[in-house]
Structure 1
């Protein structure tokens, strides 16, 4: 029973650290985008550069803090490559929500937010916990 409680506490701790790190990565993404787009760079290119910066920051912080003490750390090529794949899954899943709810169903622009903020992070957390850092 005590081991199970400690396991749940560890999982909750990872979720909290993951959420904080995700907020930091989002801030990096938006900040890079804002600075570059405000200086005249194409907004799509600025967003892509911000996304790459956020993935780099996210990998470092997730590997050293969010998932500390969890699983084993392989070499950078293994975990880094897997982390990038999961980040691309996240990007694609969010694009899918936008396409499905806004472009296809004609719902308001805010309609994907619950899925982008609720479903996608949980899917990405599970992939990171089991496949990338597990």
Structure 2
């Protein structure tokens, strides 16, 4: 239709419209992702370690306490990372890949933590040491696999 006033077809589309068909937001730099991963991991670590200490204080066996705390911390990490660190829309394939990674990391982290806990003297500082060593291994593997594989899945 022509008539008085501007022809809206002569103006370029808004930037949002121009990228509407894009597969998602632009990928963050490695440094930005590392910072976000560390912050979200810190929150998840507080959940995990806090619950571990609580459950041990309540008298639960170490493996049971660690299993429950790991699940809570892992769920926290996944939710934050999917939405903030590696922004991605929900995907069944991605969710299944994360579930497989976390199941593997469960065996690794709980295995290392339980082994170290059995070898170290009793006390919170030794529980913390076992936690830090096991978490360090799991965190490194998690970041690399999530960045290079999982959050590239559609």
Q: Same fold by TM-score, threshold 0.5 exceeded?
A: yes
The structure having more radius of gyration, on CA atoms, is 2
The structure whose residues are more often helix, as a share, is 1
Unaligned runs of 5+ in 1: 1-6
Off by >6 Å, runs of 4+ in structure 1: 96-99
C-alpha spacing 1:54/1:115, structure 2 compared with 1 (3 Å): closer
Say whether the 8 Å CA contact 1:33–1:47 is kept in structure 2. yes
CA displacement at 1:18 relative to structure 2 = 0.7
Render the CA deviation track for 1:67-98: whole Å, top value 9, x for unaligned.
Answer: 12xxx5342x4322221221233344444699
C-alpha spacing 1:48/1:63, structure 2 compared with 1 (3 Å): same
Provide the rounded CA distance (Å) in 2 between the counterparts of 1:50 and 1:60.
Answer: 16
Figure out how many residues of one structure are paired with residues of the other and give that number.
118
Say whether the 8 Å CA contact 1:73–1:133 is kept in structure 2. no
Alignment-derived partner of residue 121 in structure 1: 139
Asked if 1:133 corresponds to 2:151, the answer is yes
Unaligned runs of 5+ in 2: 1-25, 120-125
Query: Pairwise CA RMSD of aligned residues?
Result: 3.5
Provide the rounded CA distance (Å) in 1 between the counterparts of 2:134 and 2:73.
Answer: 20
